Amino acid sequence: MSVADHVDLEQFMAGVERRNPGETEFIQAVREVAEDIYDFMEDKVHYHEAQILRRIAEPDRVISFRVCWEDDNGSIRVQRGYRVQNNNAIGPYKGGLRFHPSVNQSILKFLAFEQTFKNSLTGLPMGGGKGGSDFNPKGKSNNEIMRFCQSFMTELYRHVGEDTDVPAGDIGVGAREIGYMFGQYKRISNKFTGVLTGKGLEFGGSLVRTEATGYGAVYFMQNMLGTKSDSCEGKTAVISGSGNVATHAAEKVLQLGGKVITLSDSQGFIHDPDGMSQEKIDWVKHQKTVARAPLSEYADKFSGSSWHAGEKPWGIACDIALPCATQNEMDGEQAKTLVKNGCIAVSEGANMPVNLDGVHVFKDAGILYAPGKASNAGGVAVSGLEMSQNSGRISWSEDQLQDQLKDIMKGIHDTCAEYGKGHLSNGGCDYVKGANIAGFVKVADAMLAFGVV
Question: Quick one: which of 128, 167, 243, 428 contacts ligand NDP (CB under 6 A)?
Answer: 243
Min separation Cβ 360 and ligand NDP, Å: 21
List C-alpha distances in Å: 196 to 132, 168, 193, 289, 394. 13, 6, 8, 20, 16
Nearer to ligand NDP, 354 or 424 (CB): 354
CB of 379 to ligand NDP, least distance (A): 3
349 in contact with ligand NDP (CB under 6 A): yes
Nearest residue (CB) to ligand NDP, 94 versus 259:
94
- Phi then psi for 445, rounded to 5 degrees? -70, -35
Q: Which residues are catalytic?
A: 130
Phi and psi, residue 239, nearest 5° = -125, 140
**389, 206 Cβ separation under 8 angstroms:** yes
295 in Cβ contact with 242 (< 8 Å)? yes
Which of 91, 134, 132, 89 has its CA nearest to residue 109? 132
> According to CB under 6 A, which one of 81, 91, 172, 428 is a site residue for ligand NDP?
172
Query: Is 97 one of the binding residues for ligand NDP (CB under 6 A)?
Result: no
* Residue 326 binding ligand NDP, by CB under 6 A: yes
> Nearer Cβ to ligand NDP, position 96 or 428?
96
Q: Is 170 in the site for ligand NDP (CB under 6 A)?
A: yes
The footprint of ligand NDP on residues 251-290 (CB under 6 A) is 265-267, 288
Of the candidate spans 17-25, 51-59, 347-355, 387-395, the one that interacts with ligand NDP by CB under 6 A turns out to be: 347-355
DSSP per residue over 195-257, as a string?
-SSS--GGGT--TTHHHHHHHHHHHHHHHHHHTTT--STT-EEEEE--SHHHHHHHHHHHHTT
Q: Is there binding between residue 114 and ligand NDP (CB under 6 A)? A: no
Comparing C-alpha atoms, which of 376, 380, 337 is closest to residue 353? 376
Among 23, 25, 251, 329, binds ligand NDP (CB under 6 A): 329
Sheet containing 236-240, strands listed edge to edge, beginning at the edge strand earlier in sequence: 306-309, 268-271, 259-265, 236-240, 320-323, 345-347, 368-370
In the complex with ligand NDP, the residue whose CB is nearer, 227 or 328, is 328
Could you say which DSSP state residue 43 is in? G
- The residue among 42 and 398 lying less far from ligand NDP, judged by its C-beta, is 398
Residues that bind ligand NDP (CB under 6 A): 169-172, 213, 241-246, 265-267, 288, 324-326, 329, 349-351, 376, 379
